[in-house]
Structure 1
Amino acid sequence: MADITHPPMEQLQDLEYCIDSNPPWVETILLAFQNYILMLGTSVMIPSMLVPAMGGSSGDKAQVIQTLLFVAGINTLLQALFGTRLPAVVGGSFAYVIPIAYIISDSSLQRINDPHERFLQTMRAIQGALIVASSIQIVLGYSQIWGLFSRVHSTRISCGRFMLPYPLQWGPPTFSAGHSFAMMSAVIVSMVESTGAYKAASRLAIATPPPAYVLSRGIGWQGIGILLDGLYGTGTGSTVSVENVGLLGLTRVGSRRVVQISAGFMIFFSTLGKFGAVFASIPFPIFAAIYCVVFGLVAAVGISFLQFTNMNSMRNLIITGLTLFLGISVPHFFNQYWTSSHHGPVHTNAGWFNAFLNTIFSSPATVGLIVAVFLDNTLEVERSKKDRGMPWWVKFRTFRGDNRNEEFYTLPFNLNRFFPPT
């Protein structure tokens, strides 16, 4: 039995570079470029799906892609410097597709006959909704509420030669209560998915799990990122790129510097349309094949946290099994329903209400979180503290609970003097 015993380990042992160690410069640049190429898939797919439905031309689509890449570079740099400081890429998210589809189908916009004018008015409506909805992450992040909550759960493109995106390039945003409320659902989903991605990134970067203060700081900066999405007009909101988190494990390099340089590539190539279009023309099936590996790796990292719980407990087996089953099957049902009927199972006369619930229940991470948190905090709670793994998580709840947190998560430029951990 001694030969087949694998004791729980706080950190992965077979990674080559951790969050604070850096590969040689040539390898760093190549890995950074690899991160840039990987996030191109989502950055091209989302505008390719949404812009034609908005009435936009191929030129409009190219400009949206360039804007999305530019803002993704800024958001990634802000997150790596001042947010969680984890090697996490922040880019466009499919979580926003349903609320955006609701805005696109708005009858007041559909009545506009000129396609380009309809595209501009739709983009401005999306911008307004993103600006308002971003306040959720900003408030929940900087008020520390999200960190406290985290304790309860355990194509070829036609592009111009040079284009520098700038705020309000599509015109002044327009605001609608219904649009904003629908967009808030995607912001909530983004927070849930990003929290899981941050914890996976910390494990793949050989760092401690981010304490509540650091998670809140990261979500606050992510809210500012969504605000920038709204101001610049990226056509969608942003979240942590799960595929790039998986790449940390695939390359066995969790260096923060790699992601920071990758952000520089995003900003640089977003301004050079023709050059960036060469890489953006990589066939989608190639991205799909890579996604199979990296998404599976991130899922496995999440499951690895169960080693700190008692998986010989029937209570834990029930919670784990039900969470996995409902977390996969419910979103699959909602997505299949949307594909066949062009609307979700929730289909009332209130479009914003439909978009809100359909977005929430189309997210595997969000459905899984709801099920897991409910069951973990209602089934034999007091008798199962050790089985739940609570003793292991205690020291990671606060910034000063583990001495290593200061090494991994302290702000640069001595900013902790002005923004001390709470």
Structure 2
Amino acid sequence: MREGEDKPQEAGAHRGGIVYGVEDVPSPHLCFLFALQQALLCLGSTLSIPFILTELLCSRDNADARAQLLCITMFMCGVATILQTTTGIRLGIIQGGSHTFIAPIVAMMSIQKFRCPDVSALKENATTTDRDEVWQFRLREIQGNLMLASVTQVVLGCTGLMGFFLQFIGPLTIAPTISLIGLSLTAVAADFNKIHWGISMLTLVVMVACSLYLGGFQIPFPSYSREKKCHVTKYPFFQLMPVLISIIVSWVLCHVLTVTDVFPNNVTSVSYYARSDARLDVLDSMPWFYFPYPFQFGMPTFSAAGYVGMLAATLSSVIESIGDYFACARLSGAQPPPIHALNRGIATEGFSSIISGMVGAGHATTSYSGNIGAIGITKVASRRVFQVAGLILLVCGIIGKFGAVLTLIPDPIIGGSLTVVFGMVAAVGISVLQFTDLGSTRNLTIVAVSIILGLMVPQWLQSNPGAIDTGSRDLDQVLEVLLGTAMFVGGILGFILDNTVPGTPEERGLIKWRENTYSSESTQELTPVQYEWPYVTKYVEKLKCCSYFPVSPTFKEIPVVCCGTRDRPPDTEVDVETAENTDL
């Protein structure tokens, strides 16, 4: 499809009913609206991190510190999203702040020298510089260890280690990992929903109604194209913008209930953040313009304990992102990403996190599962839409007042939206099981153990702090972060059990999975995706040495013996009967 061309007549032309595939480019006005609803959807989770950090950095009452962290966070989300969609995995994925890194930050700040000083003494005698040093001194420690751990992530991607291990991963590893991404985030959605369940459920109902009940209705709109000039075109408006519609409807209702004082005006009340004016102070404190730059808070510091904790969070983030890549391709109706794109995606996330540490965001960036789930609701997977969404987030970080307006969305509206999209991610994980033999007790047991322990172990650790005591504080911190991450626990269990419990390749789903992933015949119905770098690949192809670099589009994957049969080129047929009779 040509750039900027309207496409209502081809609705559902892609697999899964996707209206705008990864390579499609909507017209500018639609592109902006689609991008805006993706940007709005990620704000709830992203902007909660600066509020948490200001508390941990002993600057709860410092409005300037909070405003700076909010601007930096939005700026970095925009930069990371643009990098990932342009040079990384090149799928429609929003990059946002990772909550996984909060746990090691809490552990770091619990050390004696980082504990908060006496607030009363500080207010009486401290200058502005002293008050800034209180939180910047702590932030520099976070910056240094985050950058160091992110370098490790870049190494994992650039050396191809993660891509290599993926060749041994099948549906029984992918399914629990993706499902637990959605299921483990239910607590996040519930925290937003509990502010006001009525508004949350209204948002949910409007979104579901637009997507499922009204999705087939097409509304006539005036349009223009070079071929047809001015004409009327029918658009599946409700199907394409359910998130934006539900947010606007619920936001208007919240404003009405706010001005009529139906919602309490007491900040201690649970329903206070359902008000449309609950965060007006952010609008006042945010600067008009703010330009984040490297090392603006001083040179970062490092520590062994801080690095180990950040490294554990980085490994968990890598596992989650790999699941997100497969989920995004599946929801987009696109061909599964090749190994070189997966390597590049991991490396790009690490590189973005290094920049995030340099400018002082205080957190790494990672793929946002909620925005991936929204692709299944909105039917818009266009790469250009997500690039524009990244640009919107970047502008919000630079123009502080603009970003502050978006933070005024009441919490229960965000919660209602996240409830649907997190459920969509979990459903995508379950759908991967279609490649396996679901009548096999072996497979059902592996899935059951992986999912139940993936949910149970993190919940137990959360309710029993300090339960892990190996005698080494650093090792305890690593285990707490890893075992506290649901998708890591479930994914590792699925991987170990699937590769150690005897089973035929057909029973394990490896034959159908690899045919779906690598066979050109089976991917003809999928949308072709340009995972290679734009404009550069044709020059890279001329350099034979580039075929040995794991992040190069010309990378030649090393064949491995798996499932009793050597991995094959896309067009090579497999003797299914021979594979079935061969043990792992």
Q: Work out whether the TM-score is over 0.5.
A: yes
Among residues 480, 483, 491, which one is paired with 1:361 in the alignment?
Answer: 483
Tell me, what secondary structure is at the counterpart of 1:207? coil
Partner in structure 2 of residue 106 of structure 1: 111
Matches within 5 A, 1:72-91: 72-91=77-96
Letter in structure 2 aligned against 1:253: V
Partner in structure 2 of residue 421 of structure 1: 555
Partner in structure 1 of residue 581 of structure 2: none
Matches within 5 A, 1:22-421: 22-56=25-59, 57-110=62-115, 116-154=132-170, 156=279, 157=282, 158-337=285-464, 343-347=465-469, 350-380=472-502, 383-395=503-515, 407-415=529-537, 417-418=539-540, 419=552, 420-421=554-555
Compare 152-161 and 257-266 and name the one that shifted more. Answer: 152-161
Letter in structure 1 aligned against 2:345: G
Letter in structure 2 aligned against 1:83: G
Deviation digits for residues 244-290 of structure 1, max 9, x if unmatched? 11111110111111100001001111111122112112222221221
- Judge conservation of contact 2:443–2:508 (CA < 8 Å) in 1: yes
- Identity percentage over the alignment? 34
Distance 1:111 1:70, change over 3 A: closer
Deviation for aligned residue 1:333? 1.6
Letter in structure 1 aligned against 2:506: K
Tell me, what secondary structure is at the counterpart of 2:167? helix
Deviation for aligned residue 1:354? 2.5
Deviation digits for residues 299-318 of structure 1, max 9, x if unmatched? 10111111111111111111
Tell me, what secondary structure is at the counterpart of 2:79? helix
- Judge conservation of contact 2:334–2:528 (CA < 8 Å) in 1: no
Question: Within 1, Cα distance between the matches of 2:466 and 2:368?
Answer: 25
Question: Within 2, Cα distance between the matches of 1:410 and 1:329?
Answer: 40
Question: Within 2, Cα distance between the matches of 1:199 and 1:193?
Answer: 10
Deviation for aligned residue 1:112? 5.5
Deviation for aligned residue 1:352? 2.8
Tell me, what secondary structure is at the counterpart of 1:377? helix
- Judge conservation of contact 1:410–1:416 (CA < 8 Å) in 2: no
Question: Within 1, Cα distance between the matches of 2:435 and 2:454?
Answer: 21
Deviation digits for residues 205-252 of structure 1, max 9, x if unmatched? 111121222111110111101111111111111110111111111101
Partner in structure 1 of residue 19 of structure 2: 16
Deviation for aligned residue 1:22? 2.6
Alignment gaps of 5+ in structure 2: 1-13, 123-130, 171-277, 541-551, 557-584
Deviation for aligned residue 1:396? 6.6
Letter in structure 1 aligned against 2:23: D
Letter in structure 1 aligned against 2:50: P
Aligned length: 405
Letter in structure 2 aligned against 1:31: F
Question: Within 2, Cα distance between the matches of 1:65 and 1:111?
Answer: 21
Distance 1:218 1:15, change over 3 A: same
Question: Within 1, Cα distance between the matches of 2:437 and 2:25?
Answer: 36
Letter in structure 2 aligned against 1:392: K
Tell me, what secondary structure is at the counterpart of 1:270? helix
Letter in structure 2 aligned against 1:278: V
- Judge conservation of contact 2:23–2:383 (CA < 8 Å) in 1: yes
Partner in structure 2 of residue 8 of structure 1: none
Question: Within 2, Cα distance between the matches of 1:111 and 1:253?
Answer: 46
- Judge conservation of contact 2:22–2:91 (CA < 8 Å) in 1: yes
Deviation for aligned residue 1:178? 1.2
Superposition RMSD on alpha carbons, in Å? Answer: 2.1
Deviation for aligned residue 1:408? 3.1
Deviation for aligned residue 1:149? 1.2
Distance 1:176 1:200, change over 3 A: same
TM-score by length of 2: 0.66
Question: Within 2, Cα distance between the matches of 1:166 and 1:400?
Answer: 46
Question: Within 2, Cα distance between the matches of 1:268 and 1:35?
Answer: 15
Alignment gaps of 5+ in structure 1: 1-10, 338-342
Question: Within 1, Cα distance between the matches of 2:527 and 2:305?
Answer: 41
Deviation for aligned residue 1:131? 0.8
Deviation for aligned residue 1:375? 0.6
TM-score by length of 1: 0.91
